[in-house]
Chains A and B, each alone.
Chain A
Amino acid sequence: MVHALGHTTVGVVRDLGRCGWFLIYSIYMIVRRPGKLIHVLKQLRFIGTKSLFVIVLTAAFTGMVLGLQGYYTLTKFGSEGMLGTAVALSLIRELGPVLAALMVTGRAGSAITAEIGIMRITEQIDALETMALDPFKYLVTPKFIAAMISLPLLCAIFDVIGIYGGWLVGVKLLGVNPGAYFYEMEKSVVWRDVYSGFVKSFSFGLIIAWIGCYKGYYAGHGAEGVSKATTESVVLTSVIILVWDYFLTSVLL
């Protein structure tokens, strides 16, 4: 039993070290040899542009449900005029970055792991190495750069669509004063709120690329190995995003 415990502990510490090294080396490569612009543009299209539909859809319904719930709560205090503020602050500070990141994790993070994992098991990564080419430059750094650019932009789009979703329900369906909706929002939302959302989404982009690439790069054998890596990637990324969100919120509050 002691032997098994020791074996597991050594395995966990080794994996954590490898995962940490992966992040450090990826950042080093971004700074030293970021690769060709075309590779980054391709990844921007994949991670950013192709996530637009799911982000818009999720944002619209998140804003609409916030409009409903917010109205229900605020009418108890006779403050339905504050609905715009409630919707905007919830989205900009918290829900925009987190939900956008979780959506991108499901759509692009899983695909990143599967793509790199398949390249690993079919020896395509070994082929790059035998050509004296660093696989990080071609497979990893473009995804890091694209995710760190895409996430803040997707988050901004999420926020705007969500605010209009809340407006649709609050103003158009439930009769909140349209002037109050936007006026109170403008009065309450400050640069620090937007900045906080930006920092969060930027760091979530880094986490999605980090875990997605790491899990694919070290995927196990065969189709089962890639399938396991993809599942672990989505679960681990989602958990890290939520935990990191708590720590970041406590610092940025």
Chain B
Amino acid sequence: MIRLRNVHKSFGGQKVLDGLDLEVPDGKITAIIGPSGEGKSVLLKHLIGLLQPDSGTVEVDGESIIDLRRSELNRIREKFGMLFQNVALFDSMTVYENVAFPLQEKTSLTKEEIRERVMSALEDVGLKNIEDKFPDELSGGMKKRVGLARAVAPNPKIILFDEPTTGLDPIIKRAIHQLIKDTHAKFGFTAVIVSHEIPEIFDVAQNVAMLFQGKILQYGSSENIKNSKDPAIKQFISGSLDGPIQMMR
């Protein structure tokens, strides 16, 4: 379980997170939705200690990750995998090397075992015969899938997805969402997805949290959030210009 309590974070005097509380249950897919610029990616980076809150607590499986020594933080980070918004593949490495890298560095697997794990991860995301290609030779959708394979290969307990389908066409979007659901069903990890994909995200996630004005406005099952009466959530889901969410703030 990941638990955030009263988390505050500002950048250059601008408040991004303002007393945020959230609990992410184990083994489920939790989506964080909300307007652009509300701090969803900032929130995600707090979960893995890439950002530290100005105040408040972040706990992973009951352990606080605030102000930890690097070695202690790394011990907790070993539970995580992450798919970045821009994928963040190592551009000087091939696809195979990218997926194999965390296994080579963090496990005692033999070369053959690593090969087997990498090929299996690539197959799980529907990629074949691209092991020797470099990231800049791949399409956006393929990069996302390689990123997903890299996140899944070490078999982490928790995977964070930062806008996994941004900039992709509708078919690839659906394919990536299906992949997330399939890999989740296969490995049973806890997933946190930051997404703008309305309404598709309600089919992918079991729980949804709406981030608005630095706080979780509402948290509940996908069904509950989809049918929420809150004017901001209703406006966000409908995409209406009228309502409490003002675009030109």
CB within 8 Å for A124 and B91 given contacts A131-B105, A133-B106? yes
Q: Which of A122, A123, A126, A132 meets B74, CB within 8 Å?
A: A132
The interface on chain A, measured as residues whose beta carbon lies within 8 A of the other chain's beta carbons, has a size of 12
- Cβ of A124: which chain B residues have Cβ within 8 Å of it? 88-91
A129 at the interface (CB under 8 A from B): yes
Q: Which of A126, A132, A133 meets B88, CB within 8 Å?
A: A126
Q: How far is the CB of B42 from chain A (nearest CB, A)?
A: 13
Q: How far is the CB of B38 from chain A (nearest CB, A)?
A: 19
A127 at the interface (CB under 8 A from B): yes
CB within 8 Å for A134 and B74 given contacts A122-B88, A129-B50? yes
Beta-carbon contact of A123 and B84 below 8 Å:
yes
Complex formed: what's the CA distance from A7 to B166 in Å? Answer: 38
CB within 8 Å for A132 and B106 given contacts A122-B86, A126-B50, A127-B84? yes
B81 at the interface (CB under 8 A from A): yes
B82 at the interface (CB under 8 A from A): yes
B80 at the interface (CB under 8 A from A): yes
Residues of B42-87 contacting chain A, CB below 8 A: 45, 48, 50, 70, 74-75, 77-78, 80-82, 84-86
Q: What total count of A-B pairs have CB within 8 Å?
A: 49
Chain B, residues 80-119, CB within 8 Å of chain A (1/0): the string is 1110111011110000000001100110000000000000
Complex formed: what's the CA distance from A130 to B91 in Å? Answer: 17
Complex formed: what's the CA distance from A132 to B105 in Å? Answer: 10
- Cβ of B86: which chain A residues have Cβ within 8 Å of it? 122-123
- Cβ of A134: which chain B residues have Cβ within 8 Å of it? 70, 74
- Cβ of B101: which chain A residues have Cβ within 8 Å of it? 131
Most buried by B among A126, A129, A131, A134: A131
Complex formed: what's the CA distance from A123 to B147 in Å? Answer: 12
- Cβ of B160: which chain A residues have Cβ within 8 Å of it? 130
Q: How far is the CB of B244 from chain A (nearest CB, A)?
A: 30
- Cβ of A122: which chain B residues have Cβ within 8 Å of it? 86, 88, 91
Residues of A111-168 contacting chain B, CB below 8 A: 118, 122-124, 126-127, 129-134
Interface residues of A (CB under 8 A from B): 118, 122-124, 126-127, 129-134
Please name 6 further chain A to chain B contacts, defined as beta carbons within 8 Å, in addition to the given A122-B88, A127-B89, sorted by A numbering.
Answer: A124-B88, A129-B48, A131-B154, A132-B74, A133-B105, A133-B106
